[in-house]
Structure formats: C-alpha cells, structure tokens
Structure 1
Amino acid sequence: MPSRFFTLLIFFILYTLNGCNSTIVTPTSVQFSATVEPVSTSTATLQVPISTVLPASPTSTPDPLSLSLRLATARGWNKLDPFATTSADYYKIFANTFSSLVRYKTGEGTRPFVHEVVPDLASSWEQPDDKTYIFRLNQDARWSDLPAVNGRSVTGDDVVQSLEYLMLESVHGWMWEKVKSIELVDASTVRISLLEPQASFLDLLASGFNVIMPTEIWESDEYDLARGPLIGSGPFVFMPEVSEFTRAAEFRRNPNFYESGGNVEFLSWLIVPNDATRVALFETGQLDVLRIPPGEIARYTDKKHPEMIVGLQTIPVGWMVSLNHQPTVMNKWGDQLPFADGRIREALSLAIDREDIFQTHFKGASLLGLSMPVPSHNAQIKEDELRELLRYDSQEATGILQEALPRGQTLQFELIIPNMGQISDSVGELIADDFREIGAEVEIVKVSLERYTATVLTNPGNFQAAFGPSRSYFSADHWLRGRFLTNGSHNASSISNVELNLMIDIQSNRTDPKQRAAALRQAQRLVLENYHSLPIHPDAEWLAVKSRVSGWSTFHDYPHQRFLREISLKDS
C-alpha cells in the first residue's frame, strides 16, 4: 500500500456551530503521556476495505515516508473558496495553505482557551489610538511557487484587497462590522481604522478565517475562487492533481514559507468516514494520529504502548447544562419551572459531581472551566476560585432546593441531550442522576444535533433544561454577547442581568490588556456566581499519536490547527 496518503483524524465537535472559552485545564492534565504494549493490529472490525478509501499512488512527486505526516478526517470539502465557507471541515484541511496578518499562538506554552495573538504575515503592529491599527509586513513573506505568483513577495496591496473583500463580499463580513477603512500606507504597511474602540478586533483578526490571497486572483477574469487554484503564503501548498474531495487532500511543503520550524515535507488528509477503518489504518502504520473512537478508549488507555503516545486533546467548545430562565416555561405536568430563581440554579450546580465525570470518562484529567476564549492567561479566573464556584456538595444542594421550592412541591423537568455519541449520553445520565439525588425528577429527552442547536443554542429557546455543547466562539466578547447579553442572539435561556450587561459593555471597550483582563475575570464571576451557565467540561477527546511525531498540540486553534507547521517527524 502506498505510503503518502495516510492521514489522521483530529476531532471535531459541533462542526459548524460557532464558540470558545475561559476554562482552566491544568497543563499536566491534558499533556500526552507516553504510558503506552503494542495494540493489537487485528482488523477484524474493519468494515470498509482500505483499498476503497486510499487514492491511487501518484508518480509526480517523491514521497519519503519519514517526511510525510498522515492524518484523517471524516468529511471532505465541497468548495475551495475560503471566503465563502465557515465549514470546520474545510478549514481543518486547508487552513495551513494560507496566512493571515496575525494568528493565535500555538505549540509549547499554550494553555486551553487562551488565544494569545502573535505575528503571522505582519511582523509587528502598533496601536497609536483606540481606533487605529498599523501592521508592518514580514519582509520575508512570499507567496508559494505556483505559476500565478512565482514566489513573489507578499505586498500591502495583497493585504488591502483581501481584507476589503473579506469585509464587503465574504461570509466572514460580520467580523468587520466596526471597521471604517483599510488603507495602504506604503508597500509593506497597512492601516486599519475602526468606527469605535473594539477590544476584540485582534482576536477576530487572528481567528484563521481572515486569510490573505494575492492581487492576481482579483485582477484576472479567468480566476474562479470556487475552483482554485488555492494560492497562499502558508506552510503547505495544496496539490489538486493528486487530491479528490471524497478520498484525500494532498499538500507539499511551501519552499517559500517565511517561518522556520517543523520538517514535514508532505501532509496528507485522508477522507475516512468510518471509525473502524481509521483504527485499522492507524494500527497498520498508515496514519500518524488517531482520534480514538469511544468503544476503543479503554484498549488504548489501559495499557502501555511504546510505539505511541496516548492523551487528551481539548477543543475550544464547552459542554454545559443550560436552564431556561423564562418564567413562562412549563413542564409536561403544567407546572411553572422556577429556573429564574437563582437558588434553584445554585442547587443544581452544587449537585453536579464534576470530578466523578472526569474520573469516569477522562481518566481523572482536570477539565474544570467555563470554556470562554480569552486573550491572555491573566484573563482567566484562578483555579482555586474556579473550584470554589463549581464545587460539589450534594447535601447543601438538597437543603437549598427544599428551601427554594414551595412545601410539598418537587422539581420536575426534561433534560435535553443531543445525539452525539456514547460519551455525551453517559455524561448526561450521570448529571441527571446527580439531580435526582437531591430530589429532582428528571426525564432525559434525546434529540438530533440540529434540533438541539435550534432550540437550546438560539434565541428564543424552546426547552426546559439541556446538557450539550455550546457554539464555537473566537473571542470573549463574541462569547459573552452571544450567550449572556440580554436578548443576545444565542441567549436561549433568556438570561437578563443588569450588572453582567454593564460588564460586557465595559470589557468590549477596554483596549488596555490589563484593564480588559480584569473586566473579563469579573464577567466570568458574574456568570458563575449567578449560575447563568453550569459548565461541565470542554470538548476533549482521546488521541493516539505515533511516537515519530513530535510537537503535537494538546490544545489548538480549532478548527485551523495551525500548529501543524511546527510538527517534526523522526525517521521511521
């Protein structure tokens, strides 16, 4: 079997749902640990022959195995235009073709849900006032060696035209609503002026969706963004001649890439929908990374496997219990649900044994947090404070609930859980049992992910209580405004808190990093102290990574995975 088309599945969750965090995940809890005898390479469970998912071997490029990183994902792509899609599947595969002015820091030293903005195409930037950003381009930045650009330097004209298109024509235009103008200062300097101060501007700019493409694509009537070719200045170059959207996406190293680090010469993304097939490819040496299916987790984590590293990887999407605050919400018996009462919400929060969930499903990894993306670790609540706010005390919870309810009344409600697999079902059952332990009567109702999104994650909500993932967010401001601002677009629980509204407005205008960090910490406290969200854990999945791979990140800028540029491979 040819060696160049083997790939990995890094996970996903919430596909195109949009969201992020301020979670505390202790670094040691999610780092990969080499606690691993050989896993059986039996393919008895293989349901799809490997030959049906691997493309034919091309002869156009060399393919030394030691230089090829082989990954897999469940879905392919249906268009090539980065300005016309928000698909997580697209950006997971193609993000490393492009560069942006700035990006989130990846690799060593990163912490879960901390989105620190660092240079990418821009070598530096300054902010002379609250509404102006001046970016100076990296003088070493060049386009790939494709014929249309032939490795020429990236210019300010490229940046201006791309950003104007993003602002006026792309599906990402909402990120640019507060931008007044984009101007070319000189050949390598660009100025962006805002209509008003926006503390989250750099957070959104770095999200990975604001890619830069060369002026040639705007100036040629023959160029079609939907068909390509994809021309970028990122670490890898897409090879459409040996790729197929239902089978594999193939990339080679960009010889003109301006950053050092990493030695991957070829990157392969196999499109493999079937879990058993991905396991078989990994265990026969044809994938370097495997998202371990739920049914296989014990087999990989309960033994030592010297040829691989097994560990948890977190994604910036939070799983939480949502309680509908609307006073008109009724249960099926016609009783008005009292979730607008903070005492009821406090009792339910105290009832949840999060450590039991971590032990049962995540081997004891500490995954406590709020899942809000923040610009620095200083903007996160300290772990000891977080543990106090999310503590477990079933006895206290029982007393609070009994005191809050009218004499003789029982709290009865439905808990919606989206159909997202074994772990979500199991964790949902544990949470329901915790609520039952303090005297609540809970009926679990399983629904499709689409229905969950429409009824639990969209304002106005149509549910009583729910356990499931949040949307995916790229800035703290986006997260706070969408979920907790009165009448926010994702405020399906009808939360209305005057003090929290004020703090959301304050943090959005604080462009000084220290002042903004303080405002964000206070906003998190208000969310947790009022039990407006009952966070359970960030999305976390078990990965097996071949020991030949060095630099795999335990937390990354999902879905873009720009840390792939830093991966180094050992000789096989």
Structure 2
Amino acid sequence: MSNSKYWKRMRNRRLSRRAVLRTAATAGVGAAGIALVGCGDDDDDDQPQAVAQQRQQQQQDQPQAAAQQQQDQEQQEQTSQQAADQAEQQEQAAAQQDAAQQQQQQQAATAQAQQELEAPPIGGELKISDTSDLASFDGFLTFGYKAFLHGHNCYPMLTQFSNNPGQSSIDFQPELWLAESYEQPDDVTWLFNIKENAVWEDREPVNGRNVTAADVAFSFEEERYGGYPNRGAIQPSLVGVDAPDDRTVRFDLNGPLAPFLLYLGHHAGPYVMPPELLVDEMSRQTMISAGPFLLDEYEPGSRVIYKRNPNYFDAPKPYADSLVINFIGDNSAIAAAFLSGELNTTWFGVAPPIVEELENGIPGATWEYQPSLVIGGVFPDLALEPFNDPRVRQAMSVAIDRDAILTVGGALERGQWSTALPPLAGWWVDPKEDDALGEFYRYNPEKAMQLLDAAGVDGLDGVPFHTTTAYGPIFAEQSQVVQANLLQVGISVDLVVNEPTVHYSTIFNGSNTGVIGHTLSVASIEPDEALRNVFIPDSPRSPIPNGELMGEDQQMLDLLNAQRTEGDVETRRKLLYDLQLHIANQMYSVPWVNPPISQVARPELSGVQFIQTFAPSPSLEDMWFNDL
C-alpha cells in the first residue's frame, strides 16, 4: 500500500486516545507534549511513572498494531483485487461466449446458404422398366416382386435398407425410415416411435390423416392372421404387435432375433397400409400413399405413373417430379430405350445379353455388378412318384448343365451356382470349389442315369413342366435348356408356359401339385430367410409342391432352428454348411443359377446408389437430374 493512501486513510479516521499516542510517537512528538495531551494535570504525583508506563506500553503496542493494520489493509486490497480480477474474467468469458455464438451463427448461416446452393434440384421424369404388368397393387393378396416394386413407392416401413455413398448394393444394413427412434428394453421386446410428420395423402377415405402406430400394428397383424400367401421373414418370431399410443409400436418376440431391424425393412413387407384401404378390396386397384411417390395413373399393359409426394415425411426427397415404370419385355427394346434416353436407370438390373451394348453406347454411365441373390430352380412335387425318391431328384440335378444355362443368358463369366443358399458372402459355399457339395451339382449325365436306375426308373414321359413369361424371354429359353437336359437322361417333360397372373397364384407358391415347377423365388438378404422361405414345411413362400412332407426330416429342422438362434459366427457358419450339404443330399428342390445383376444409370443422373432389392425406392428417391 502506498504512503499517500495510508495517510489519507488516517486523516479520515476518528482517533482514539491510544491511537493519538501511537500517532504522536510515530510523528516524533516530545515526551512533554505527550504528557500534556495525556493528563492535563501537572499536580499528579504519579505523572512521571504514568508517563513512563505509557511510553513503555506505546513502545510495546506500536509495532504490533502497525503490522496488524498493514496486514488488514493488504488483505482488503487483495480481496478487492480478486473481486476485480474475477469480474474482469467473467466479462472476458461473456465476451468470448458472445463471439463464439456469433461465429456459430455465421457458420450455420454459411452452411445453410451452401446447402441451399448445393441442394439437388427438384424436377424431371425418372423412367425405369419392368418386364410385364402387375396382377394387383396389394402386397397382401399378391405375393411377388411386382407388388413390392410398386408398393414401396407408396407404403412406408419402420426401417429400410440404407444406401450410403460407396455402399455395395448387396450390403444390406438397416436404417430408420418411418420410425423416428427405437429402444429395446430386453431381448424380446422392441418399442418404436413413428415420425410425427408422416401423413397419408389427402384423398378418400383417409383425407390426409396422420400415419398412426395403429396402422403399423394393423399391417403386421393383418399379414399374420389374414390368410395371405405373403408372410414376412419376421412373422415366425412374432408373438404380437400393438400400439400403446398413437406414435408407439410395441413388438413382442418369442425369442431373440439378431436380424430383427433388417427384417423390419425387408422388401417383401409387410408395408404399412391404412386399414380403410382394405374395404371392398380397394387395395387391389389403387394405393394411398404416405411414401415418396403418389400413384397418379395406371395404364394396364403399358405403364404406371407416379408423381412426387409434396408431403413426404423425408422431404425434400424425392427429387424427381415423377416416376414412370414402363412394361417392356423385349431386351432389344430395353436397350433401344436406354440408348435413346427413354429409360434412364434400372431398378434391379439389365439382362446380360445387352450389358455390353449399353456399356459401349452410354459413355459416362454409372454401373455396378453384383451376383443375384434370388433363390430359384426346379421344384418337383414331393408326393409325385417317382419324384418322392431323393435319388430321382438328385438325378435331375446332375442332369442339368448349369453353365449352359448361364451361357444362354450371357452370364457365364460372372454367374454363380446356387446351393440351398444364394451367394450370400460368408455363408454360401461354392459347389464348384467344394467337392462334397459339388458332386450334387456338377453336370454328369452318366451319374444321373445311374441314380435313375438305382431308383428303378426306366424313363419318364409326359410330366408337366411349368415355366412362365413373368421373368422375361431369357428365363423361358433357359427352361428349354432344362427340358433338353432332362430328355438326355430319359425324363421327357411337357413344357407349359404360364402368364404371370397364373404363375404367381400356382407355381410360385407351390400350390399346383402333380407337376414340376420352374420358378424364381424372393431375393434373400439373410441365410435364415433364404432357408425358411423354401424349406420350412408350412412356409407360404415355398415353391415346393407338398412341401409339408419335409416336416418328416427332423435333422433338417433341428439344423434350421440351431442356426437361427446361434450367436457365434463360426459355429453358425458350420451349421449352415451342414444344412447346405444335408439339403443337397435330399434335393428337395433342384437349385438354379445366379446370374450377375448389372445396374446402370445414365450420365444425366446424380446421387446414384443402387440397392439390389425388389423395393428400390430408397435408391430412386435419392437420384436427381444434373441437367435441369
């Protein structure tokens, strides 16, 4: 503390007698002066002694008092300085916070402006094709990819397959779609909150109302108990689905199910539909949308036109103003449409014979090549003699030249052979490379005749062999290859070509007994799904006539259940290998081939990220035209 401050403080104090003495002594006042000030009575006999005592006391007290006073003052000054420093720090912190907030606001404004500049333009007509017309818009009533292709444009699901940049088209990962969030209180309970801004389109009978949890629960329960052929992969695990409130959906399972989130977004459904749509079979003729597109116009035999849904809960998607699905069955016509720009992308793939033409004819196009994951093959009636003997079914398998079938489709170079599984990475075993499996699939007419002889079969005539135009002309040609292969070993079949509507109601679901069916099934995203679709005895998706006879194969059923619940990857892989080998030995179905899926988008499209699925709307809604 400075001397000037000290003396100023002293002048402003009211001094006590002792303080006066201390001050006088400190200032150099004489002893007589002190005596006069202190007594005022010169007749006191004790004056010299008193003065001496005062002087002694003053000498004792003065240094301590001065030190204490200085210490008090320093503490006060220190406290004041600390308060000032703290106030200054708070002021600086507030200033820094204000500056940071201003910077964040500026950055957010810049980012928003940049995003607005970079936001994909909305507009254009996105044009794809399918081989033929659809039988119905109702995925409950009609089981087949056509219902899924169209339904996914309008009916949302809780989850969907992600399609992030750089992601493979067969790398199936779940992401939330209609669901905003979820929680899993335990291994068998799942709770989902649906998005608040999801609404049905504004038309009768829903009139733009919100999509509710009750709609979701209804769709799952309707699929489960409605007696329909289409039952999703999740249904065998469901105990119940209910809606505790308008936005919450609860699923109760009969056990843990690892691919639960993936199954919820499966392209085969169930899709979320409003219950009002099922009145008077309205769902066969139209769709009421809460999805990315609205059904605008249906021209039977020609095309289906969709327009952009302006109230889509994932706006601003979709970026195209409209989506047109043209029915074109001829490959040369498809190639011409792509080359002229009448088609600008695929939803699943183009046929192998026209891939090279399009590669050369569309410079700058985006391509992706992956093996097909569709299960298919030849499916004899298990109750029809002599096909109830596994040796006869094995004979059919080794009588078929699978490479010749791939050659017909122009897919020998990239094609694969199925086992009981499609080429799912990590689970499928290539029969070309595995000797134990290969003996059931390699082309060997001599062995086929030996197996037929061992089964007591000396030629077969007039067996109905049903195929279809539903999958395009190449599939029908491949059926003729199978017919010729079987004839070489003494099995003569009569080829019956069905229209899609007949095929999907009979051969596709195994309901037409007394025949051999040739069909594709549903593309599978998970081994459990692929196996359960075909080999569970009561599966409504199995193309095997009289498939309930497989219920006598307890070894297969035990393996199926074991792999479904096995959490260890290596143990499950071994179980799945044993299953592929066991099913090959029984040959309940004669597995088909997996040609490559070649996806293409013309150069005027950006945001291209393909998904190999029968429900491609997550991919289609992300695409935009870069030439607007």
Fold match by TM threshold 0.5: yes
Larger Rg: 2
Aligned to 1:192: 251
Cα distance change of structure 1 residues 554 and 353 upon mapping to structure 2, 3 Å threshold:
farther
Bigger shift: 483-492 or 394-403? 394-403
Q: What is the identity, as a one-letter code, of the residue corresponding to 1:70?
A: K
Aligned to 2:535: 484
Q: CA deviation at 1:503?
A: 1.4
Q: CA deviation at 1:73?
A: 3.9
Asked if 1:424 corresponds to 2:494, the answer is no
Cα distance change of structure 1 residues 384 and 429 upon mapping to structure 2, 3 Å threshold:
closer
Deviation track 1:126-146 (CA, whole Å, cap 9, x = no partner) reads 44444322224457x544785
Aligned to 1:182: 241
Alpha-carbon distance in 1 for matches of 2:246, 2:407: 56
Identity %: 18
Alpha-carbon distance in 1 for matches of 2:396, 2:286: 52
Aligned to 2:128: 71
Q: What is the identity, as a one-letter code, of the residue corresponding to 1:361?
A: G
Asked if 1:89 corresponds to 2:141, the answer is no
Alpha-carbon distance in 2 for matches of 1:556, 1:301: 19
Aligned to 2:390: 340
Alpha-carbon distance in 2 for matches of 1:435, 1:173: 32
Asked if 1:267 corresponds to 2:322, the answer is yes
Bigger shift: 386-395 or 445-454? 386-395
Q: Secondary structure of the equivalent of 1:96?
A: coil
Q: Which has the higher contact order (CA 8 A, sep 6+)?
A: 1
- Which one of 526, 529, 542 corresponds to residue 582 of structure 2? 526
Alpha-carbon distance in 1 for matches of 2:389, 2:328: 40
Alpha-carbon distance in 2 for matches of 1:161, 1:453: 25
Alpha-carbon distance in 1 for matches of 2:438, 2:533: 22
Q: CA deviation at 1:365?
A: 1.3
Q: CA deviation at 1:457?
A: 5.4
- Which one of 356, 365, 378 corresponds to residue 414 of structure 2? 365
Cα distance change of structure 1 residues 136 and 303 upon mapping to structure 2, 3 Å threshold:
same
Counterpart mapping for 1:378-397 below 5 A:
378-381=426-429, 389-390=437-438
Alpha-carbon distance in 1 for matches of 2:289, 2:178: 15
Alpha-carbon distance in 2 for matches of 1:229, 1:435: 44
Q: CA deviation at 1:249?
A: 1.4
Aligned to 1:206: 265
CA contact (8 A) 2:137 2:150 kept: no
Counterpart mapping for 1:532-543 below 5 A:
532-538=588-594
Q: Secondary structure of the equivalent of 1:566?
A: coil
Q: Secondary structure of the equivalent of 1:362?
A: coil
Cα distance change of structure 1 residues 482 and 145 upon mapping to structure 2, 3 Å threshold:
closer
CA contact (8 A) 1:319 1:539 kept: no
Alpha-carbon distance in 2 for matches of 1:521, 1:324: 25
- Which one of 300, 306, 309 corresponds to residue 357 of structure 2? 300
Q: Provide TM-score, normalisation by structure 2.
A: 0.60
Cα distance change of structure 1 residues 301 and 160 upon mapping to structure 2, 3 Å threshold:
closer
Q: Secondary structure of the equivalent of 1:306?
A: coil
Alpha-carbon distance in 2 for matches of 1:407, 1:263: 59
Aligned to 1:498: 554
CA contact (8 A) 1:369 1:386 kept: no
Alpha-carbon distance in 1 for matches of 2:212, 2:191: 14
CA contact (8 A) 2:402 2:443 kept: no
Aligned to 1:462: 514
Alpha-carbon distance in 2 for matches of 1:553, 1:381: 28
Aligned to 2:374: 317
Q: What is the identity, as a one-letter code, of the residue corresponding to 2:264?
A: L
Cα distance change of structure 1 residues 476 and 272 upon mapping to structure 2, 3 Å threshold:
same
Q: Provide TM-score, normalisation by structure 1.
A: 0.65
Tell me the C-alpha RMSD between the 2 structures.
5.2
Asked if 1:109 corresponds to 2:167, the answer is yes
Q: What is the identity, as a one-letter code, of the residue corresponding to 1:230?
A: I
Aligned to 1:44: none
Aligned to 1:286: 342
Deviation track 1:443-489 (CA, whole Å, cap 9, x = no partner) reads 242113347974685268423x5544346778755653453345766
Q: Secondary structure of the equivalent of 1:118?
A: strand
Bigger shift: 387-396 or 90-99? 387-396
Aligned to 1:443: 492
Q: CA deviation at 1:409?
A: 7.6
Alpha-carbon distance in 2 for matches of 1:322, 1:168: 27
Alpha-carbon distance in 2 for matches of 1:476, 1:89: 23
Asked if 1:558 corresponds to 2:621, the answer is no
Q: CA deviation at 1:78?
A: 7.8
More helix as a share of residues: 2
- State how many pairs are aligned: 487
Deviation track 1:330-378 (CA, whole Å, cap 9, x = no partner) reads 5xxxxxx68423xx6556544544344334423411333347479x854
Alpha-carbon distance in 1 for matches of 2:255, 2:143: 26
Deviation track 1:276-305 (CA, whole Å, cap 9, x = no partner) reads 765554443232136999797388269554
Deviation track 1:205-253 (CA, whole Å, cap 9, x = no partner) reads 32343333579x69xx9xx767877241x3x23163x666665412215
Bigger shift: 469-478 or 101-110? 469-478
Alpha-carbon distance in 1 for matches of 2:539, 2:215: 36
CA contact (8 A) 1:74 1:273 kept: yes
Alpha-carbon distance in 2 for matches of 1:74, 1:409: 39
- Which one of 402, 408, 415 corresponds to residue 450 of structure 2? 402
- Which one of 175, 200, 203 corresponds to residue 118 of structure 1? 175
Q: Secondary structure of the equivalent of 2:376?
A: strand
Cα distance change of structure 1 residues 174 and 256 upon mapping to structure 2, 3 Å threshold:
closer
Alpha-carbon distance in 1 for matches of 2:455, 2:620: 59
Aligned to 1:60: none
Alpha-carbon distance in 1 for matches of 2:363, 2:143: 39
Alpha-carbon distance in 1 for matches of 2:315, 2:430: 34
Bigger shift: 77-86 or 553-562? 77-86
CA contact (8 A) 2:138 2:284 kept: yes
Q: CA deviation at 1:117?
A: 3.7
Q: Secondary structure of the equivalent of 2:612?
A: coil
Alpha-carbon distance in 1 for matches of 2:194, 2:561: 32
Q: CA deviation at 1:311?
A: 7.1
Q: What is the identity, as a one-letter code, of the residue corresponding to 1:102?
A: T
Aligned to 1:258: 314
